[in-house]
Amino acid sequence: MLLEKERIQVAEYGRKLIEMGLTKGTGGNLSVYDRDKNLMAISPSGIDYFLIEPRDVVVMDLEGKVVEGDKKPSSEHAMHSILYKKREDINAVIHTHTIFSTTVACLGIDLPAVHYMLALVGEDVRCAEYASYGTEELARNAYKAMEGRLACLLKNHGLLVGGPSLAYALNATEEVEYVAELFVRTSSMGKPIIIDDKEMANMKERFKTYGQ
């Protein structure tokens, strides 16, 4: 089975998205990229995450061709492949419809740094221009919004996060959603205090040596 390790990861992390409350039903999608083989393993379209087995995960090339798997791949595969083509720092992608990030995305505004944990993905999280799901236009809009960042909001749609691994992308997804919740809640009480770019740059550097 091609990309067996990556397909196991996609199935495992898909269940984590549900368990952590980061998506609902069959919403969202995730993938892992193998740079040596130039192939990605991506979640299948419209299947309950708890029913997805590694063999159901689809292996594709970056031109949209299915290389192995008998299931229909996620309709958002172009949004994953454009990042793998153009970003050497991204080897895993998670797209979700988290409540608070999507709330901000429905306002069509960027998510500012109301908390330093946003430094995991950048100084802020830009909101990409709207386009229909599953289109090349949406993929291009997301790529543009993620320039210099590891995340973007998708206007009237959801959240997109990339990273060097699925573990990083999952953690970053959770933290962006946390900051989005803080932003929504503080905005309901008054005007949130935003951390300046200099301090966020400092946080980004410090995160490089954070953890074990």
d(Cα 68, Cα 33) in Å, to the nearest integer?
14
Hey, what CATH class is 4-207 in? alpha beta
- Distance, in Å, from the CA atom of 104 to the CA atom of 126, rounded to the nearest integer, reads 10
Which of the following is catalytic: 4, 6, 76, 175? 76
The answer to whether residue 33 scores a pLDDT higher than 80 is yes
12 noted as active-site residue: no
The residues, ordered by sequence, that sit 6+ positions from 20 with a Cβ below 8 Å of its Cβ are 170, 174
Could you tell me if residue 29 is left (phi over 0), alpha (psi between -120 and 50 degrees) or otherwise beta? beta
Question: Where in the chain are the domains?
Answer: 4-207
Q: What are phi and psi of 145, to 5 degrees?
A: -70, -25
- What pLDDT, on the 0 to 100 scale, is given for residue 25? 86
Q: What is the mean pLDDT of residues 112-116?
A: 98
What would the pLDDT profile of 166-191 be if each residue is shown by its tens digit? 999 999 999 999 999 999 999 999 99
Could you tell me the pLDDT band of residue 211, with boundaries at 50, 70 and 90? low
